[in-house]
Amino acid sequence: MEPSADPASSPGATSMHETMHAPASDEPVILAPGYSPLNFVAPEAGSYQLPSFGQAPDGQVLLENGSISTLHKSYGDKVNVLSFIFTTCQDVNGCPLATYVMQQVQAKLEHDPEISSSVRLLSFSFDPELDTPEVISAYGDHFRSPDSDWLFLTTTGDSMLQPTLDAYGQWVIRDYDENGHYLGTMSHILRVFLIDKSNRIRNIYSTSFLHADTVFNDIKTVLLQPDP
């Protein structure tokens, strides 16, 4: 399937950007810089350091084929870009931004075969109730190119999911109606992690700093300077 570059094209309901609800209007207000050209000259890859934030936690995941694995096995011997998303999010400053930036990184990797084999992208859903393996796989097919190394992960439920969210500091508050039924929306903070081949976190991107150019430069810097 031809990937879509339109971040608002993903199916779904609504999410939150950081701790604030997206403004209610006919046209979404784009606050994130990741959709526009970088407004400064990025430092050359390898000209700066990315100290380690510590070891990236492990956790159980459900693969697209329905089998149970772990995050560390999914990372493999590669530099990884990990985003936490849910497929029904339509806040352009939230999950669609993460997926859009990941898609732009994917395109850059395709034009740089020397490093593309050393990099993996992962999108991990924190909505196991709606994002079954079939759903997350279909969502992934909408964005990834046929030869891309981009995994889409989910879990069997909260008991599998919550320890990983806690370990990565990814808080999520689901919205329920007066009868306790999940509405398919939630509050969360957008966080994207750059993880090196030794499973160390080398950068953490929020909405305000997530941009494909800087992520790609950071990937190359980690590959050039693997040891913090």
- Domain residue limits, the chain: 55-224
Q: For 116-172, what is each residue's pLDDT tens digit?
A: 999 999 999 999 989 999 999 999 999 999 989 999 999 999 999 999 999 999 877
Mean pLDDT across the chain? 86
**What is the Cα–Cα distance from 175 to 185, expressed in whole angstroms?**
6
Q: For 165-222, what is each residue's pLDDT tens digit?
A: 999 998 777 777 787 787 767 777 889 999 999 999 999 999 989 999 999 999 999 9
At 152, list the tokens.
Answer: 């889409």
Instruction: Please check the confidence at residue 41 and state whether its pLDDT lies above 60.
Output: yes
Question: What would you measure as the largest C-alpha separation in the chain, in angstroms?
Answer: 55
Comparing 143 with 23, the larger pLDDT belongs to: 143
Model confidence at 24, in pLDDT bands (50, 70, 90)?
very low
Instruction: Please check the confidence at residue 20 and state whether its pLDDT lies above 90.
Output: no
In CATH, the number for domain 55-224 is 3.40.30.10
Instruction: Please check the confidence at residue 12 and state whether its pLDDT lies above 50.
Output: no
**What is the Cα–Cα distance from 8 to 118, expressed in whole angstroms?**
29
- The Cα-based distances of 226 to 44, 77, 156 in angstroms read 16, 12, 34
Q: How many other β-carbons are positioned within 10 Å of the β-carbon of residue 153?
A: 24
Instruction: Please check the confidence at residue 23 and state whether its pLDDT lies above 70.
Output: no
| Residue 153 main-chain phi, psi, to 5 deg | -120, 155
